[in-house]
Structure 1
Amino acid sequence: MCSVNEVDFDDDEQCMEKKSVVLTADTCKKCNERKAEVLRFLDAYCRECFLAAATHKFRACLGKSKVVRPKDHVLIAFSGSQSSVALLHLVNAGLKECSHKRLLFTCSVVYIDEGAVLELSPDDRNEICTSIVQQVKKFNLPLCITTLERSLGDLDISYYSDGGNTSNTDDQKEEQLKKLISSIHSLTGKKDFLHKLRNQLLLKTAKKLKCTKIFSADTASHLAVKLLSNVALGRGAQLPLDIGFCDTRDTDVMLLRPMRDFTKKEIVFYNIFNKLESVVIPSLGTKSDPHASIQKLTEKFVIDLQEDFPATVSTIFRTGDKLSLGNNTTEGDNFCTLCQAPLDTTFTASSALQATEFSRTVSNLGPCGFDIRSICTLNNGISDSSNEHKDKSGSALRYCNTSAVTPTSKKKNTCGEDGEDCHCHKNTANITLLEVEACFCYSCRLIAREMESLEMLPVDVIFNIKQRLRYKEMREEIEDFLLC
């Protein structure tokens, strides 16, 4: 056992003194010729060497993965931030190179207007979109602009529009989005849910434009904050997908993070040297207190720690890089219908999830309402002992017998036709919290519990939930006839 510094310290004594960074050389530590202009941790770089190193870092991140192939159509998610502008500049420079190392894929840019959530006026939203259009025009890349409320609609609606005009927004969907966000009580839940809606809309837009890859501008600083906040939100099982280079939870489109090796400071220097300007756009909770949400509190913690210990972001980021998914897969129905991540809600003996659910159930029911039925409910996951999904009126959702050909009419009736009171195939049947939780991961369940109405969820999410519940009940009916 180590016996160093076993003695007690006074209040004015410290175990380690804080060292100030001092530049002792005026020349670049790489070329030793030009004057140093950039301090990256403890190394002084000149402008040319820094830009060359940044370009090499970006190209190496794409090259070593070997995921992006020639003739791929890539969708670049642009938000107007510093990292988004740097990503566009790096991609545009790679497409223009005349050497054999030129990037061979084609690109499109998408911007998601979130003005409805931020309570911005139509003039402010159009002004922001105009600034986005002017920024993207400098790189000669096609731009698509869509609105966040379109993530709540059906798959057959138009998800994008050319140019910077947002006057064709859906007022009904915009109002639905506002009610949905306002129904979530905590700012933590709102930010987490908005992130899921944004990812869903990116995937839908990519499929609409026939793109197989999506480039995200997440930096190492952002991913380090995301790692810690996701652990606090209960998304620890999803960390390899949330912070890794490649997010493969969707089978058709992959989300890539080619800027993940850059720190926030490096991005700022890169934009300064290339004279790149970003678009300042407010976000949800921009002027709120740092303690208002888990995400903002984690960001403040990492930034404050990074000022005194420059290796903080790198240490957190590289530690998260070593995580893997293990045996969790998204095959079949083993994925969350909201975030598309593998489900982490399987009850095992003495699991943390079971202990958490047990504590929540006892707190909600109290000593008088907790009985043996509550224990059976916990043991069966979130389905009750009768294995029947019930609607808000308490009636069980079962399959009817109307999908049969009667001998007299010779006509095949479909379930739900002729005004019959059947809820198994009708989209108008309300879903309950228990049914939603059966298809959500642990963290998405926390979001659902904060919502006042589950019917305002995106249409495709509700459809997938009902479809999964129908398949489950059908399997239970024919389970005795299946061959093992």
Structure 2
Amino acid sequence: FNRSMENEPKHISKEGVSTQEESLIDSSFRKSCECGADNECKRNAQPLAQISKKAQKRTAHVQGNLSSGDQDFQEKYKIGELDPKQKQELVKLGKLCYKCRLRQPNYCNKQDKVCKGCFMDSIGHRLRQSLRLNLRIWRDDLNLICISGGSNSMALLDLIYESLFGENTMSQRKMYFRVHVLYVDEGPAVYGWSEQFHKAQLEMIEDVCLNRYHFTYTIVPIEAIFDIQPESFDLKQPSQEQRVLLEEEKKNDFDNHTTLNEDFEQLVKNKRMEVEGLDDKRAQLKTLIESLPIESSFREDLIFYVKKQVIANFALTFNFKKVLLGTTSQKVAAQLFSSICKGRGGSIAHEISFIDNKNFGGRVSFMNPLRDFLKKEIGLYNYNRGVQIINQIPLAQLNQLKQKRPSNAPCFGSTDLLIEQFFNRLQDRYNVNTIPTVVRLANKLEKSVDLLSQDKQ
């Protein structure tokens, strides 16, 4: 796609389009043809009337959301009187938003200067596109959103709400699916929260889910891992007969949509699940965590897999087929390299893909809709939307503070934090495409289950 008007394909006529409309034609609304035809190409060229309508729609949307500062900016530089080449020069100088070319830029997203309105619209559009194309979430699908209170998962919750009920976006193609929120309570057992702070955080989670987003929720203590029955957790690959039954179950869910368990309304809807002998089980979990060494993220990995098993058990019990997580690009890149360093590279292709359905015969799929989002984009989105989060220091840092003689190892001796810091420095200081390149490289990894099935065939 060509961004400047001087490089526009010759076979697209400009007759009947004013100078202002011509300047508003975005590069995403034009198609170039490589056939070399002098006249209008019937194969690839887009009709000019359709381009003009989209440009007018975009102009009306931007003009309707102009603030007083944007209006002063337009009067100062006389944006409406500039031709496309002059606007292109302002875009190159970083004084004009490269997307709408009407407002002054507020942020630098990678190498492009973009205004606040276009930035927020692009974030929402990219998430809806990821839900439709990558995750294939359609109308009336039942989805379980897992939150930890951090910036990534809370941003995912807000973006899902905007996709369902938002009215501030340019696109009117809203989505219609069902949502339930699951919060795994790990504060007292893992981070040692006080009773007062723990109560305040739980009330914040409940208030955000019910009053701000109007989603149903469930709070499950991490100590529920001791109540899981081993019979319900068969991690082996299903046999041929079981695969046939699972395929029929998936087809039935796709045709008739997933239905919740009958006990869902009574047991877990908008409730905190109770665990018998909570104090004893919490002490057992603390003992198990403290038995592992502090270095090299052993404790973090244990807690991660314990939480994942608690989430999977909840999804299997109440018939949730799709589980949405808040994994971003930084997490994908860091997890790829750290898993290889730890000797767990065989399963990493499943864990960092858009859909991870390797366990339980595909009955539960862990999905990563924020996989192509940078941490900087999530932070700016949370700041603009006023998203509430739980501020918690990393577990590796907390463990070092408890030691009499803290280690001098970088990043508190954590492998995950060290690799994540390495990517953040490369992204900020050298090349803004470092992490997106690693994520695209991870897309080429083939899943081991697929390879085994191909060999058998």
State the TM-score bracket (shorter-chain normalisation): 0.5 to 0.7
Q: Which residue of structure 1 lines up, in the alignment, with residue 437 of structure 2?
A: 315
2:191 aligned counterpart, secondary structure? coil
Q: How does 1:82-481 map to 2 (within 5 A)?
A: 82-96=151-165, 101-114=173-186, 115-137=188-210, 138-155=212-229, 162-163=270-271, 170-187=278-295, 188-250=297-359, 251-287=362-398, 288=400, 290-309=411-430, 310-326=432-448
Q: Distance in 1 between matches of 2:320 and 2:329?
A: 25
Letter in 1 for 2:351: D
Structure 1 residue 117 displacement after superposition: 1.8
Cα distance change of structure 1 residues 274 and 236 upon mapping to structure 2, 3 Å threshold = same
Structure 1 residue 210 displacement after superposition: 2.0
Q: Is the 8 A contact 1:219 1:263 kept in 2?
A: yes
Report the aligned-residue RMSD: 2.8
Cα distance change of structure 1 residues 175 and 124 upon mapping to structure 2, 3 Å threshold = same
CA offsets per residue over residues 104-145 of structure 1, 9 Å max, x none?
220000111112122223333222211222222311101110
Worse-superposed segment, 269-278 or 211-220: 269-278
Q: Point out where structure 1 has 5 or more consecutive residues left out of the alignment.
A: 1-21, 332-484
Q: Distance in 2 between matches of 1:68 and 1:317?
A: 22
Structure 1 residue 23 displacement after superposition: 7.7
Aligned pairs, number: 310
Q: Distance in 2 between matches of 1:190 and 1:261?
A: 27
Q: Distance in 1 between matches of 2:434 and 2:384?
A: 25
Structure 1 residue 96 displacement after superposition: 1.7
CA offsets per residue over residues 170-221 of structure 1, 9 Å max, x none?
1222122111111222442111111111111111112233211000011111
Q: Which has the higher helix share?
A: 2
Letter in 2 for 1:172: D
Structure 1 residue 328 displacement after superposition: 5.8
Q: Which residue of structure 2 lines up, in the alignment, with residue 34 of structure 1?
A: 103
Normalised to the residue count of structure 1, the TM-score between the two structures is 0.59
Cα distance change of structure 1 residues 298 and 209 upon mapping to structure 2, 3 Å threshold = same
Structure 1 residue 311 displacement after superposition: 1.8
Structure 1 residue 72 displacement after superposition: 1.9
Q: Distance in 1 between matches of 2:135 and 2:283?
A: 43
Cα distance change of structure 1 residues 66 and 243 upon mapping to structure 2, 3 Å threshold = closer
CA offsets per residue over residues 245-265 of structure 1, 9 Å max, x none?
000123211011001111001
Q: Is the 8 A contact 1:72 1:211 kept in 2?
A: no
Q: Is the 8 A contact 1:129 1:164 kept in 2?
A: no
Letter in 1 for 2:286: K
Q: Point out where structure 2 has 5 or more consecutive residues left out of the alignment.
A: 1-90, 233-262, 401-409
CA offsets per residue over residues 229-282 of structure 1, 9 Å max, x none?
111111211121111000012321101100111100111111222222322134
Structure 1 residue 160 displacement after superposition: 5.3
CA offsets per residue over residues 420-472 of structure 1, 9 Å max, x none?
xxxxxxxxxxxxxxxxxxxxxxxxxxxxxxxxxxxxxxxxxxxxxxxxxxxxx
Q: Distance in 1 between matches of 2:451 and 2:294?
A: 30
Structure 1 residue 330 displacement after superposition: 8.6
CA offsets per residue over residues 17-61 of structure 1, 9 Å max, x none?
xxxxx9822110011101111110110111111111111111111
**Quick check: which has more Rg, 1 or 2?**
1
Query: Is 1:51 aligned to residue 120 of structure 2?
Result: yes
Q: Distance in 2 between matches of 1:112 and 1:264?
A: 22
Q: Is the 8 A contact 2:182 2:217 kept in 1?
A: yes
Q: Is the 8 A contact 1:78 1:109 kept in 2?
A: yes
Q: Is the 8 A contact 1:239 1:320 kept in 2?
A: no
Q: Distance in 1 between matches of 2:147 and 2:282?
A: 21
